[in-house]
Amino acid sequence: MRLFSRPGVLALAVLLAPLAACGEGEIDVATAERVPLDLDKRDAERLARYYLGGLAAVEGADPVEAGLLEVDGSDLYVNPQRLRPEVRAALVAADTGSPGRIDWDEFTAFVEATYATARALPPTIDGLRAAHGDWHDDATWFGYDVEGSAMTRARRHLRVPVAALREAIAAAAAGSGPVYPAGTLIVGEHLGADGAVLETTIKRRRADGFWDFAVYGPDGRLAEATATPPRPLRAPVQCAGCHLGQRQFEPERSFPAPSPDGPAGPRAVVVPDAWRDADATARFREHAARTDGVLGLYATLYVARLRADRAAGLALAPEDVLLLRGE
């Protein structure tokens, strides 16, 4: 039995020819709803969730629930049609290798082209301060310094809001580890020999549990990367690479013991000896556990300071007394 007349066969062949010529590697990113992500990373799904979650909503959202990311076993797909037109255009522009398949280099180019706007990062340090308050206010912010960290040879002045830190410590007491509330800003100022701020790095907690990363240069404006030696680190890609990974870094890794010198000289968490509290360090294991993607020792040192102040007979705020309850 003949299913088609010869003209029908020819017509069908004409219709199928474009499909046969357009394999998965030749998907049109501008119109497709399913484009493979070939990130070639050990934790590719987590990375995709991090970056695409930042595009799903200003506050951050699950990209799978938003229809932006599809996870099929170990295979990942992005749906360009769920992106705003200008963001989708950036994804199309980044697709410069194998057509219709986004590899890691293309993906990072796309992220860097869209990140600051998508994440609504304040374009200036003054705008950031207006939104979050002055982190030099010792009454409402807690901080300490680090020398010889892995990311820069400059001295780092680290600051976190006390209110957010108290919430994180309370969360740890409830068994979830020191998890910070959405909106938390953590600031790192890189200082010159004269104490002048050379650049400022920030982390801002999203509603989906991930962190935004940004760098503000010496002019107070958003910058693409850090500039202090030993090497530039691009934001957010290289920031996220460390914070989402498992590698430990000095001088936090050795704390509360002194850190060994590094290639550029001494490395140290610069705090009073009374804050080198082994019990507080063991309680949180912040740097080793990589809880909440935070590499610092904020909860550890805050509780160590409270314990030292209590031992010295100093009065503690009622909120801080609660944090030490049961000790």
**22 within a domain of the structure (yes/no):** no
Last residue of a domain, one of 70, 102, 118: 118
Q: Which among 51, 295, 311, 38 is positioned nearest to 156, based on CA atoms?
A: 295
**3 within a domain of the structure (yes/no):** no
**219 within a domain of the structure (yes/no):** yes
What's the number of CA atoms in the CB half-sphere (13 Å) around residue 322? Answer: 10
Asked whether the predicted pLDDT for residue 4 surpasses 70, the reply is no
Model pLDDT for residues 275-312, shown as the tens digit of each residue: 999 999 999 999 988 878 899 999 999 999 999 999 99
**23 within a domain of the structure (yes/no):** no
What the block records as the tokens of 223 is 């910058």
Report the percentage of the chain scoring pLDDT > 90: 82
Last residue of a domain, one of 87, 118, 149: 118
Between CA 222 and CA 178 the distance in angstroms is 29
pLDDT: which is higher, 157 or 13:
157
Q: Which of 15-24, 109-118, 178-187, 256-265 has the lowest mean pLDDT?
A: 15-24
Same-domain check for residues 187 and 283: yes
Same-domain check for residues 167 and 249: yes
Between CA 42 and CA 39 the distance in angstroms is 9
**290 within a domain of the structure (yes/no):** yes
Same-domain check for residues 53 and 178: no
What the block records as the tokens of 326 is 């049961």
Whether the CB-CB separation of 160 and 184 falls below 8 Å is answered with yes
Same-domain check for residues 210 and 259: yes
Q: How confident is the model at residue 172 (pLDDT cuts 50, 70, 90)?
A: very high
Same-domain check for residues 145 and 284: yes
Between CA 163 and CA 123 the distance in angstroms is 25
Q: Which residues contact residue 59 at a Cβ distance below 8 angstroms, ignoring those fewer than 6 apart?
A: 182, 206, 207, 208
Q: Look at residue 197 and give its three-state secondary structure.
A: strand
Q: How confident is the model at residue 228 (pLDDT cuts 50, 70, 90)?
A: very high
Same-domain check for residues 219 and 133: yes
Same-domain check for residues 211 and 276: yes
**16 within a domain of the structure (yes/no):** no
Between CA 44 and CA 18 the distance in angstroms is 32
Range of the domain at 80: 28-118
Same-domain check for residues 230 and 160: yes
Task: Identify the pLDDT of residue 2.
Answer: 35
- Domain count for the chain, please give it: 2
Last residue of a domain, one of 61, 90, 118: 118
Same-domain check for residues 136 and 74: no
Same-domain check for residues 82 and 159: no
Burial of 200 (0-12, 13-18, 19+ CB in 10 A): buried
Asked whether the predicted pLDDT for residue 210 surpasses 80, the reply is yes
φ, ψ (nearest 5 deg) of residue 170: -65, -40
Q: β-strands 102-103, 35-38: how paired?
A: parallel
**296 within a domain of the structure (yes/no):** yes
Question: Can you give the pTM of this predicted structure?
Answer: 0.89
Orientation of helix 162-173 relative to helix 298-311, angle to 10°: 90
**55 within a domain of the structure (yes/no):** yes
Same-domain check for residues 77 and 177: no
Same-domain check for residues 141 and 262: yes
Model pLDDT for residues 25-80, shown as the tens digit of each residue: 478 999 999 999 999 998 999 999 999 999 999 999 999 999 999 999 999 999 99
Task: Identify the pLDDT of residue 245.
Answer: 86
Q: Look at residue 75 and give its three-state secondary structure.
A: strand
